[in-house]
Amino acid sequence: MSKQVGVGLVGYGYWGPNLARNFATNPATRLVSICELSGERRLAAERALPGVPTTDSFEELLNNEEIDAIAIATPTASHFALANASLLAGKHAFVEKPLADSSAAATELVELAASSGLILHVDHTFVYTSAVEFLANSIQAGDLGELLYFDSSRVNLGLFQPDVNVLWDLAVHDLSILQFITQRSPIAVSATGVFHPRSSQASAAFLTVSYEDHFAAHIDVSWMSPVKLRRTLISGTSKMLVYDDLEQIEKIKIFDAGVDFPESADEMRNLLVSYRTGDMISPRLHETEALAAEVTHFAECVSSGNPSKTDGVLGAALVRILEAATTSLDNGGAPIPIKD
């Protein structure tokens, strides 16, 4: 096996502990140091991972020669500054989603990584689940026929965030899945939102993503739902499926269902369409932790120099969609083109 990748982690809040555990236990990585400003959280890190030193100085990570890569699990607003400094210090970067809080900042990071020959990886974890991998393979193999639409609900009673709207917090997951499984670039978005009377950020939002052809995607996210839903409908001309991430066993159900159109316009007038439904198949998926697979992939990219499946280019594309969506939301749903 090749040399372990030395990782420094900054941010030990909500998601940081999961990254820490995975970088510490993955055979391809070594967790060298944890940087966290809060003394209480540093203590928590020390209890959970006795052998790993902690610090409140980010400079230390930048200057530590055992550290090959820096993982950034801090609030979105700080991603750019920390990733930028990491790359300038010659460290690969593993950045929490979304990559940055503006497309300009995201693009700058992508360019810096490219010119430095460093890996810029964004933690779009869902891409590394066996369910999303299955979807990508099915769709790219043409099993669904021509894609008709994608409709996702990701709602729950969630912590309101003061600095970003719910699209940046939740829809980013659906957008990463959508992008990964279709490998297509949207041309425009329309978004609307609902504001809780005591919050200045939209806490529920409804996003439609348009493409050059008939295909379109819709994403419904909320922090104000009494129930938790994680469900995506994907329909094609040959087959249709449901991906429900809350299901333990039957996460994906593929229906041999579709719409048949009459051959001639004449029949069309009278008969309209008929639909067919056949058997349903729920494929067996592997049960591996997505983050473990992602860390392995990241270490391979660092070793080989190959770009990550969720590299900065993808991460910046998603930030451009989120940015356009927020503009649309501020304009009552007016369609906003996606800049390339």
> Rg for the chain (alpha carbons), in Å?
22
> Is residue 284 a contact point for a copy of itself (CB under 8 A)?
yes
> Is residue 197 a contact point for a copy of itself (CB under 8 A)?
yes
> Is residue 148 a contact point for a copy of itself (CB under 8 A)?
yes
- Residue 52: burial class (beta carbons within 10 Å; 0-12, 13-18, 19+): middle
Using CB under 8 A as the binding rule, the residues of this chain from 40 to 69 that contact a copy of itself are 50-51
> Is residue 198 a contact point for a copy of itself (CB under 8 A)?
yes
Per CB under 8 A, the segment of 6-14, 87-95, 127-135, 236-244 that binds a copy of itself is: 236-244
Contact between 325 and 98 under an 8 Å Cβ cutoff? The reply is no
Using CB under 8 A as the binding rule, the residues of this chain from 167 to 186 that contact a copy of itself are none
In whole angstroms, give the CA distance from residue 311 to residue 309.
6
Which one of residues 281, 286, 304, 327 is an interface residue with a copy of itself (CB under 8 A)?
Answer: 281
> Is residue 117 a contact point for a copy of itself (CB under 8 A)?
no
Contact between 319 and 102 under an 8 Å Cβ cutoff? The reply is yes
In whole angstroms, give the CA distance from residue 274 to residue 146.
18
Sheet of 147-157: strand order equals: 252-260, 240-244, 224-236, 147-157, 216-222, 202-210, 188-195, 336-337
Phi first, then psi: what are they for 219, rounded to 5°? Answer: -135, 125
* 41, two tokens: 């959280």
Residue 63 C-beta: closest distance to a copy of itself, Å: 28
The helix or strand, by DSSP H or E, that contains position 298, with its residue range, turns out to be helix 290-304
> Is residue 195 a contact point for a copy of itself (CB under 8 A)?
yes
- For a copy of itself, which is the closer residue by CB, 106 or 144? 144
Residue 149 C-beta: closest distance to a copy of itself, Å: 4
- For a copy of itself, which is the closer residue by CB, 41 or 253? 253
Using CB under 8 A as the binding rule, the residues of this chain from 90 to 109 that contact a copy of itself are none
Size of the site for a copy of itself (CB under 8 A): 74
Which one of residues 34, 62, 135, 155 is an interface residue with a copy of itself (CB under 8 A)?
Answer: 155
Residue with token string 């982690």? 9
